[in-house]
Chains A and B, each alone.
Chain A
């Protein structure tokens, strides 16, 4: 059997990616560009120095509407959605009774009776099933609206000036982790000052059939083709950018076997907000102390650490690499790993088993990269 691409889901930009020379790969059931002809290194660096454009339409959107929207969602997620104001978003997690992670997500508050949950592509169906299975008699209407939306991210120091060419809304007035409606090149959109790269920038949500127009207009406004112009970026650059910024990727740093506290996500874990799934166990873990912790490391020998490789201390395997890769901007090979909490300190020497060769590394503080304050 050939042509597996026919069974993969496609965003409305699939043809556009192919026309741009995108190399397509499977990701979470979707046919997505892993890189374009400029290459991952250039895409990554350009995003940090100028701007990068990302098709993230494969992510999922779940509508929650009705008078009980906030208490309903707040019972299922770890962060406190009741603290949001209209036009504000927060990073959060859907948790199991064990306090482990079903998915990480953004919760957007459009109004007291309208929340939008933006979830990962590979877990959209799982999250949807989980959420509707927990719908009791709360007065809410739930809808998996993923197919209705496209989502395009413009990231980098030039993101705001590029996007500003296409809208009259003063983008600098949208604060970090806030959003508003805007007409972007005449398209009704939600423009959110959020992102997954560690740079300033926006995630633009619009009707799925408007994706091509927005994508092409943003590339044009960003001077695609010039040496300091915007570049379309694939999944490989998306991964190296978020890893450099110390951000978690579901299925790597977080999954249904890792608690929020182990993953350094205590800051989105509001144990005093009221009851939510997993609260009891997370409280207990907080009181008893975690046994293992997610850390960042620099590889100090020659070699590149990769996902899943063993971490050794004193010659004994003590943990594993959750994500490992070159960091193009920092010119360093880096990674994140779970290690026993007693070793989870900056400066701790560790070894990574890179396909049978022990490569020296050192635990460093997270994040690896933080953008300069502007």
Chain B
């Protein structure tokens, strides 16, 4: 069973959000990394770039496939996990910790309320894989 930590918000595109003040830390879920397989490459934006909620901010590649990643919240990128350039496997090994991808300074912090709770995300992934 994929890990779904309690303290996070989730999107239907399999990203997670950890709220730290007005900053959203974003990555992909354990379910997503498991579906992808070995992550070999991560394409991330630069600090300062702005995104609207649900916009693609980059891509994550496995040996066989390319998947876009979407930000669940709007705002501007304040920090990018550059270590994923040399160690993309962190996304597989620690998707909620060292595999974090970007930090966004949220322009509308209320957006997190429309994201999925851990229980809702668990139900959602169960339904998807049936």
Contact = CB atoms under 8 A, between A and B. Distances in A.
Contact of A40 (B43, B61, B64): B64
B41 interface: yes
Interface in B39-65: 40-41, 43, 59, 61-64
Contacts of B37: 23, 35, 39-40, 236
Given A40-B38, A41-B38, A306 B63 contact: no
A326 B85 contact: no
A236 B63 contact: yes
Interface class of chain B by DSSP: strand
B63 A328 contact: yes
A373 interface: no
A303 interface: yes
A117 B91 CA distance: 44
- By CB atoms of chain B within 10 A, which of A39, A303, A333 has the most? A39
Contacts of B61: 304
Given A39-B38, A303-B41, A240 B63 contact: yes
A325 interface: yes
A41 B63 contact: yes
B22 to A, nearest CB: 31
Interface string A265-309: 000000000000000000000000000000000000011101000
A40 B63 contact: yes
A159 interface: no
A34 interface: yes
A304 B38 contact: no
A325 B64 CA distance: 7
B119 interface: no
Contacts of A23: 37
Contacts of A333: 41
Given A39-B38, A40-B37, A236-B37, A326 B63 contact: yes
A3 B66 CA distance: 24
A325 B63 contact: yes
A304 B64 CA distance: 10
B99 to A, nearest CB: 15
Contact of B64 (A34, A42, A302, A355): A34
B125 to A, nearest CB: 16
B81 to A, nearest CB: 15
Contacts of B66: 304, 306, 355
B123 to A, nearest CB: 19
A303 B85 CA distance: 10
A271 B38 CA distance: 45
A35 B40 CA distance: 15
Interface string A28-48: 000000110001111000000
A236 B37 CA distance: 10
Contacts of B40: 41, 304, 326
Interface in A330-355: 333, 355
Contacts of B85: 302
A97 B85 CA distance: 49
Residue picked from B43, B62, B63, B66, most chain A C-beta under 10 Å: B63
A227 to B, nearest CB: 18
The list of the 7 closest CB pairs from A to B, nearest first, reads A41-B38, A40-B63, A39-B38, A326-B40, A236-B64, A304-B41, A236-B63
15 contacts: A40-B37, A40-B38, A40-B62, A40-B63, A41-B38, A41-B63, A240-B63, A302-B41, A302-B85, A303-B41, A304-B40, A304-B41, A326-B63, A328-B63, A355-B59
